[in-house]
Structure 1
Amino acid sequence: MTSATTVTTALHRLFGDRDPGVIDDLFGPVYRQHSALGVDGLAGVRALLDHLPPGFGYELLRVVADGDLVVTHGLYRGYGPAPVVGFDVWRVRNGRIVEHWDALGPLGGAGPDDRAPVEGPTAPAELEQSDANRALVREWAEVVLRDGAGAAARFVGDASVDHARGGAPVDRPRGADGTPIRYRVVHQVIAEGDLVFTRSEGGDAAPLIVNDLWRVEGGRIVEHWGLVVPVPATLPHDNGAF
């Protein structure tokens, strides 16, 4: 199996079938957890499965695979009255999932059934452009978003759509108060074709986990999905959120 297939199979068996056998089949034996939702190791995965809430469901929207890292973008149901959106990053080695990061937060639409923040293309295209698009988005994230240098117009297409901002043109991602987020460290840049995911550490007084999924076309960023959540004040392990 490819790394992407390993992850999608694991998610289907874990969240769809609620099959505990998938933990022995596709996880570990060493499993490093960065999420606030579980303790470190396979015990955390087992506890997560055992405590899924009634009515839980997971809808996979997008998959981006780059080497041993796989990003999944999806909707979680059952954690409250409305779906929450999540970005998960999985590390796969020798056909087994060995590390996991995540961020879950409000979908951000006009109502609980508004899917506008996650609409748009779902499958990577132009796979031969992965390296070029990864380099473009890394420069955008590190030079423009982190360092505050460079011109956004050099990176963003004329007709761009930011699903995280109600369809406005792509610009520097903004916090809940509308001010641009200060990016401090770009931890991950994961690319497959025209889709490039960045996971960054940002914020000023309160640290943030900044998740951005960018779509590139013709050497310019033309689409963006995002999720910004606070770094948890405490974690049930010592691995850190990043």
Structure 2
Amino acid sequence: MSKEQNKALVLKAHNMLFSDKDIKALELYFSSDFIEHSPLVADGIPGLKELVASCPDMDYKVSRVLGDDNGLVALHGRFVGLDENPLVGFDIYRVENGKIVEHWDGLVAEAEKNISGRSQLDGPSEVDSNADSEANRQLVKKFFTETLIGGDYSGFERYSDGKTFYQHSPDIGDGVQPVIDFLEQLKADGTALHYDKIHRTVADGQFVLTHSEGSIAGARHAYFELWRVENGKIIELWDSIPAVPSDEDAVHNYGIF
């Protein structure tokens, strides 16, 4: 199946399951040996059935759909009815031979708009089919390795135009210097965002989603960060950074990565 076919399949299956609460989606679109990595859902098809049955008011609205030639499809959107408060963030699905075989997610509580008036979901959403997905992936991975894993925050200047950076994180406003100042202050406070490795990327047009692992103040976290590239410069960021549950709290044995 093509990237666009995979995107259509995943979006249809996701909406059918989480908005329509129709578990026939599991038979139609999911592999019988489906692997679940979400910390919110028990493993496999039974876990999804249990989730749908326990959340009768659940609904989902998608903001972005990204697909990769490696079979990964990422959804960026908002859940209601899954928790007491709305949750926003990312779902990553892996499609193989026309069936969904694996799923990861990173969801956090919806927050107020940041100081620049941006929400966790607004902004450009249409994929630019003329953009070079692979070149943008390599650019983001190089930036990520130097700047976030390496802790050299001047990379935000080198990989942008030095000024333009549209920010959707609830805690930071627009601009290159504000994000550098924010990260440096966290480091000074002993609560720096530590990044260990990238587990996977989804690159589609001008968008690159990085799914990585690290820690904050010694506690393991998953980082879902969506970067937008324009003319070879990184100019926009959306993120979701949930904590990793302890082994004692895990609902399956596959881990969240």
TM over 0.5: yes
Matched, 1:193 2:205: yes
Structure-2 residue corresponding to 1:231: 244
One-letter code aligned to 1:15:
F
Alignment check: 8 A CA contact 2:146 2:155 kept = no
Match runs of 1:155-166 below 5 Å: 155-157=159-161, 158-164=163-169, 165-166=171-172
In terms of mean alpha carbon deviation, does 118-127 or 198-207 score higher? 118-127
Match runs of 1:77-156 below 5 Å: 77-80=80-83, 82-110=85-113, 116-149=119-152, 151-156=155-160
Deviation at 1:6, TM superposition (A): 1.0
Alignment check: 8 A CA contact 1:116 1:166 kept = no
Alignment check: 8 A CA contact 1:172 1:181 kept = no
Matched, 1:15 2:18: yes
In terms of mean alpha carbon deviation, does 194-203 or 180-189 score higher? 180-189
Secondary structure of 1:116's counterpart equals coil
One-letter code aligned to 1:159:
T
Question: CA 1:18 to 1:136, structure 2 compared with 1: closer, same or farther past 3 Å?
Answer: same
Question: CA 1:3 to 1:216, structure 2 compared with 1: closer, same or farther past 3 Å?
Answer: same
RMSD value, Cα: 2.2
Alignment check: 8 A CA contact 1:174 1:181 kept = no
State TM-score, norm by structure 2: 0.85
Structure-1 residue corresponding to 2:224: 211
Question: CA 1:31 to 1:172, structure 2 compared with 1: closer, same or farther past 3 Å?
Answer: farther
Q: How many residues align?
A: 238
Unpaired runs of at least 5, structure 1: none
Alignment check: 8 A CA contact 1:173 1:181 kept = no
One-letter code aligned to 1:201:
E
**Partner deviation per Cα, 1:14-55 (whole Å, 9 max, x = no partner):** 12222111100000121111111222221111111111143x
One-letter code aligned to 2:232:
G
Alignment check: 8 A CA contact 1:145 1:172 kept = no
One-letter code aligned to 2:238:
W
Secondary structure of 1:201's counterpart equals strand
Q: Distance in 1 between matches of 2:47 and 2:130?
A: 35
**Partner deviation per Cα, 1:54-95 (whole Å, 9 max, x = no partner):** 3x2111111110020011111011234542102111000111
State TM-score, norm by structure 1: 0.90
Question: CA 1:241 to 1:173, structure 2 compared with 1: closer, same or farther past 3 Å?
Answer: farther
In terms of mean alpha carbon deviation, does 221-230 or 9-18 score higher? 9-18
One-letter code aligned to 1:168:
D
Identity of aligned residues (%): 34
Alignment check: 8 A CA contact 1:215 1:222 kept = yes
Unpaired runs of at least 5, structure 2: none
**Partner deviation per Cα, 1:192-225 (whole Å, 9 max, x = no partner):** 0000000110115101111100000010111000
Deviation at 1:102, TM superposition (A): 0.6
1:65 paired residue among 64, 67, 78 = 67
**Partner deviation per Cα, 1:84-135 (whole Å, 9 max, x = no partner):** 1021110001111000001111122159xx8722110012114441011000
